[in-house]
Amino acid sequence: MDAVASKHERFPLAEVTFAGQPLANATVDLWIDESGRSQWAARVLVSAPLPDTGRLVGRTKDGRAIEGDAFVAGRQMGPGGRRQSLVELHGSGELAGWAEEPE
């Protein structure tokens, strides 16, 4: 029998920065992989180039400060030739602050 990811959660992140650059809101996915490790990824629309690696920082709706190191895993041009692109960030380690109690 194949192992599957579990405990998937998706949530919006506001007041977002990546490598110190302010960004629009992000969507974060957090899950436990088949080996029992915590994994996460984030998607954000950007209009300026981002560095390949950096620290993602933001705040959840319930006030928790969230942050973690990440790298750019993919970039897609926005619809209709807009100057925005969708960037997917993959976490490289724990997503600090998620396990904290909401403020």
* Tens of pLDDT, residues 75-101: 988 766 668 889 999 998 889 988 766
C-alpha 64/C-alpha 51 separation (Å) is 25
- Reported as a single tens digit per residue, the pLDDT across 16-34 is 999 999 998 999 999 988 8
Dihedrals phi, psi of 81, to nearest 5 degrees: 75, 15
**Domain assignments of the chain as residue spans, ordered by start:** 6-91
Instruction: Enter the pTM of the model.
Output: 0.85
